[in-house]
Amino acid sequence: MCMSTHRHSLHCILPPYILSKIAENGSPALRAMAMHSLMIDPTIRIVRASTAGPVTGDIARRRSAAGNITVPSPLRTIRDAGGEPEAPGSVVVRREGEGPTGDIAVDEAYDGLGATFELFWEAYQRNSIDDVGLPLDATVHYDQDYDNAFWDGTQMVFGDGDGELFNRFTIALDVIGHELTHGVTEKEAGLAYFNQSGALNESISDVFGSLVKQKLLGQTADQADWLIGAGLLTSAVKGVALRSMKEPGTAYDDPVLGKDPQPGHMDDFVRTNQDNGGVHINSGIPNRAFYLAATAIGGNAWDRAGRIWYSALLDPNTRANTDFAGFARVTIDVAVRLHGTDSAETTAVAEAWTTVGVI
């Protein structure tokens, strides 16, 4: 179900509680699909955990700081699994610098990897996921009617969706940015994937996934929709996205998928043993904090608000077990360092965390 306490976790965009709801409420075909996905995801996770390599974030930062200022390339490779449950796919269909193929999933994956790379390089001078130019690989057309997309620590993998509830998983740019950001978090703070640190891990991916989309579209914080996975749901679903950073808990309310369970305030924090302690659920709280800070600061959210969150992720005080309150303190400290104690930025960050009940 795309969850692990291993440092190199398998991170899936579709929360396990949505698949569980489909298994309960869907048609026979949808129930079979959901159960299939629920069985596939832990298998991938176990394989990934057994082959995970070392975390190299500290070394990466030192190398980056050492100073290669040449504009880097994302070094993309897209593979096609051909509907088989294999990752990486066996057929290379597009490499860095090659033109569009006409396969929409291939080309969306290629463009999404590039847009994510550009955000981190142009806004934060980070050279790929590991900051030393890690090639960006992806596999499309994974399995049959597979309802998910995931980062496995080495590559992105996309299912084509079932066509009834979910469209192809390359359709949402913020999904691609979200999943690749899990790789950045692994290389930096290594936030443990359970309870509040896990929800913070998910939130940081939503933050930068949204910023990838906003930057590509040239949207200011006030213009953005602050939705994660817009376009992923088909017209048959009563909903607009997987999550709303602006209004957690309002993204969908559907007879099959159920109701979006995300809280937006600590008063409604969900205590559960499911979903690794609610990592996809409680992420709504820090998500809303970022939305509030970014809109209060104004302008392009990837500039000042995004810089504060990115710097906080790299800060040595953000550790594997950092909770919401701990990360809030780090973001406030970073805002003070970057903009001053009495700055509008520091005030916006502190007020955002206060509004959601974290401080």
Provide the annotated active-site residues: 179, 280
Q: How far apart are CA 353 and CA 289, in angstroms?
A: 5
299-316: pLDDT as tens digits: 999 999 999 999 999 999
Q: How far apart are CA 135 and CA 227, in angstroms?
A: 28
CA distances 111 to 80, 103, 117, 128, 212, Å, are: 16, 12, 10, 15, 11
C-alpha dihedral (341, 343, 348, 350), degrees to nearest 10: 10
> Residue 207 in 3-state DSSP?
helix
Q: How far apart are CA 233 and CA 109, in angstroms?
A: 18
Work out the number of other CB atoms within 10 angstroms of the CB of residue 46: 12
- List the one residue out of 100, 74, 105, 118 whose CA is nearest residue 216: 118
Average pLDDT, consecutive stretches of 10 residues, N- to C-terminus, the chain (359 residues)? 47 90 94 82 42 39 50 96 94 98 98 98 97 97 93 93 96 97 96 96 98 98 98 98 98 98 98 94 98 98 98 98 98 98 98 98
Please report how many Cα atoms fall inside a 13 Å half-sphere around the Cα of residue 102, on the Cβ side: 0
- List the one residue out of 223, 197, 203 whose CA is nearest residue 319: 197
195-246: pLDDT as tens digits: 999 999 999 999 999 999 999 999 999 999 999 999 999 999 999 999 999 9
Q: Where are the beta strands (DSSP E) in the chain?
A: 11-12, 76-80, 91-95, 136-140, 149-151, 156-158, 227-228, 243-244, 253-254, 258-259
- The single-letter DSSP state of residue 239 is B
pTM of the model as a whole: 0.92
Q: How far apart are CA 353 and CA 81, in angstroms?
A: 43
Max CA pair span of the chain: 59
- List the one residue out of 91, 87, 104, 78 whose CA is nearest residue 142: 87
**Residues facing residue 243 across a β-bridge:** 228
